[in-house]
């Protein structure tokens, strides 16, 4: 079939202009050069959202988020408090996505660290291409992404899978059926469909993957056959996203305040700063070094403390560790260490006696606001 582009004429009439093979290849290679980035049109995202039902705040996950527009649109539609998580390989697009989404990591999805079964919604619009140097259905990136990312979807979570129709092979359908139930397929509108023939597969995550197709119910078997027909026959009619069939997929509510692992393979500077700011040790040090109020639970002594008294108080932890005011403020930590001194005595008959003497030494460690550490003994 000759590829073409759809144009809208006056009066809303649509007409198609064939694309020669050289131009089509240029378009395809440009897409591959951009890491297969084909963003979901805003109009189609809105129609996809009409197929989703939200019952409370939840997590929204797009592992190919681009600049974040599609998932940001989903988040606006979802209940208040829902959080968005995006992965993007391209550094510039990831930087733009951080302005729209709650959490973004800039790496390939296979290098990201995401808790299993933590995402109630997987919005998956993967690169449209084969793995480099390979050409079988098993090497399609759409299939590889589906298999690798489904483990992140929590049971009863929802899949929104946006792919070219011609990639709906037997291998793809089997991968979908083994991992998801309640499957259905729809197509983009006429003005968005011709170039890539994009379809949207909806599904509900199984609690456990099936081992073979023999475990399918009759309804699931019929859905499987329908998906296979859609992939084999490019002329078979497929319902539009706004088809009035009453089908919706419910995205589970989740505790968005619960911490989940969502990181890149290597921590970047921004992640390290965030970890430090939220760590207990950093908070304790920050309060000690930068607190505007200085509190003490010690009553004023009748006589001034001597050095030994101060060292003992610091070592025992009675003092709160913060001393000084303004730029001279610093943190003090005291530690008592046992020091053993060994002495060998020789008597008049040449016999030797070894005497170990134990002493406890107080070491005071000071930490300045600039990070300088000094040990005083």
Q: What does the pLDDT look like over 251-309, one tens digit per residue?
A: 999 999 999 999 887 666 767 777 777 777 777 766 666 644 445 456 677 777 777 77
Q: In this structure, are 254 and 320 located in the same domain?
A: no
Contact 354, 343 (CB under 8 A): yes
Grouping H, G, I as helix, E, B as strand and the rest as coil, residue 340 is strand
Q: In this structure, are 238 and 290 located in the same domain?
A: no
Last residue of a domain, one of 266, 292, 323: 266
User: Rounded to whole angstroms, how far apart are CA atoms 59 and 182?
Assistant: 21
Q: What is the DSSP string of 153-211?
A: EEEEEEEEEEEEGGG--HHHHHHHHHHEEEEEEEE--TTTSTTT-EEEEEEEE-SS--S
Residue 289, pLDDT score: 61
Q: In this structure, are 114 and 218 located in the same domain?
A: yes
Residues 6+ apart with CB under 8 A from 102: 83, 84, 85
pLDDT of 136 strictly over 80: no
Residue 143, pLDDT score: 95
Average pLDDT along the chain: 82
Q: In this structure, are 146 and 287 located in the same domain?
A: no
Residues 6+ apart with CB under 8 A from 348: none
Q: In this structure, are 237 and 330 located in the same domain?
A: no
Q: In this structure, are 191 and 329 located in the same domain?
A: no
Residue 320, pLDDT score: 54
Q: In this structure, are 255 and 307 located in the same domain?
A: no
Q: In this structure, are 247 and 315 located in the same domain?
A: no
| Average pLDDT of the segment spanning 185-191 | 96
Q: 341 lies in which domain range?
A: 279-346+354-376
Contact 26, 223 (CB under 8 A): no
User: Rounded to whole angstroms, how far apart are CA atoms 84 and 74?
Assistant: 9
pLDDT of 353 strictly over 90: no
**Residue 13 pLDDT grade (very low, low, confident, very high; cuts 50, 70, 90):** very low
pLDDT of 208 strictly over 60: yes
Last residue of a domain, one of 217, 232, 266: 266
Query: For residue 99, with 0-12 CB atoms within 10 Å meaning exposed, 13-18 middle and 19 or more buried, which class applies?
Result: exposed
Report pLDDT digits (tens) over 26-83. 444 344 435 557 889 999 999 999 999 999 999 999 999 999 999 999 999 999 999 9
Q: In this structure, are 129 and 244 located in the same domain?
A: yes
Residue 46, pLDDT score: 96
Pairing mode, if any, of strands 373-376 and 352-368?
antiparallel
Residue 315, pLDDT score: 66
Residue 377, pLDDT score: 66
Query: For residue 27, with 0-12 CB atoms within 10 Å meaning exposed, 13-18 middle and 19 or more buried, which class applies?
Result: middle
Residue 99 within a domain: yes
Residue 115 within a domain: yes
Residue 233, pLDDT score: 95
Q: What is the pTM of this model?
A: 0.66
Residue 235, pLDDT score: 93
User: Rounded to whole angstroms, how far apart are CA atoms 320 and 177?
Assistant: 61
Residue whose token pair is 């993007």: 88
Residue 22 within a domain: no
Pairing mode, if any, of strands 4-8 and 198-205?
unpaired
Residue 298, pLDDT score: 60
Residue 5, pLDDT score: 43
Residue 266, pLDDT score: 67
Residue 321, pLDDT score: 65
| Average pLDDT of the segment spanning 161-169 | 95
Residue whose token pair is 């260490």: 337
State the total domains in the chain.
2
Last residue of a domain, one of 213, 233, 266: 266
Q: Which is more confident, 321 or 162?
A: 162
| Average pLDDT of the segment spanning 184-195 | 94
Residue 110 within a domain: yes
pLDDT of 7 strictly over 50: no
Residues 6+ apart with CB under 8 A from 59: 82, 83, 84, 85, 118, 119, 120, 121, 254, 256, 260
CATH number of the domain that residue 102 is part of? 3.40.50.150
User: Rounded to whole angstroms, how far apart are CA atoms 260 and 328?
Assistant: 40
**Residue 3 pLDDT grade (very low, low, confident, very high; cuts 50, 70, 90):** very low
């Amino acid at each position: 079939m000759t590829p073409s582009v759809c144009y809208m004429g006056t009066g809303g009439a649509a007409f198609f202009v064939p694309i020669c093979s050289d131009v089509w290849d240029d378009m395809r290679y440009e897409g591959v050069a951009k890491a297969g980035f084909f963003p979901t049109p805003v109009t189609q995202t809105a129609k996809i959202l009409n197929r989703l039902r939200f019952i409370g705040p939840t997590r929204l996950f797009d592992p190919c988020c681009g600049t974040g527009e599609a998932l940001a649109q989903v988040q606006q539609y979802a209940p208040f408090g829902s959080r968005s998580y995006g992965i993007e390989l391209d550094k510039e697009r990831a930087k733009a996505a951080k302005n729209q989404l709650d959490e973004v990591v800039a790496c390939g999805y296979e290098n990201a660290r995401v808790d299993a079964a933590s995402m109630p919604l997987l919005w998956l619009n993967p690169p449209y291409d084969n793995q480099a140097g390979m050409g079988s259905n098993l090497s399609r990136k759409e299939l590889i992404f589906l298999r690798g990312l489904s483990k992140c979807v929590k049971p009863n979570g929802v899949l929104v899978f946006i792919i070219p129709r011609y990639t709906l092979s037997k291998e793809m359908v089997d991968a979908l059926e083994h991992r998801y139930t309640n499957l259905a397929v729809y197509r983009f509108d006429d003005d968005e469909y011709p170039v890539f023939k994009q379809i949207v597969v909806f599904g509900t995550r199984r609690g456990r993957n099936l081992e073979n197709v023999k475990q399918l119910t009759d309804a699931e078997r019929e859905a499987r056959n329908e998906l296979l027909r859609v992939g084999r026959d490019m002329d078979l009619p497929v319902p539009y996203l706004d088809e009035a069939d009453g089908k919706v997929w419910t995205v589970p509510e989740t505790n968005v305040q619960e911490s989940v692992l969502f990181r890149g393979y290597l921590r970047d500077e921004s992640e390290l700063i965030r970890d430090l700011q939220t760590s207990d040790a950093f908070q304790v040090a920050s309060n000690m070094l930068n607190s505007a109020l200085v509190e003490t639970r010690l009553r004023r002594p009748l006589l001034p403390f001597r050095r030994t008294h101060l060292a003992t108080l610091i070592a025992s932890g009675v003092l709160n560790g913060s001393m000084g005011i303004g730029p001279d403020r610093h943190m003090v930590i005291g530690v008592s260490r046992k020091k053993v001194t060994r002495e060998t005595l020789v008597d008049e008959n040449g016999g030797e006696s070894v005497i170990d003497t134990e002493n406890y030494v107080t070491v005071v460690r000071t930490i300045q606001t600039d990070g300088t550490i000094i040990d005083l003994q």
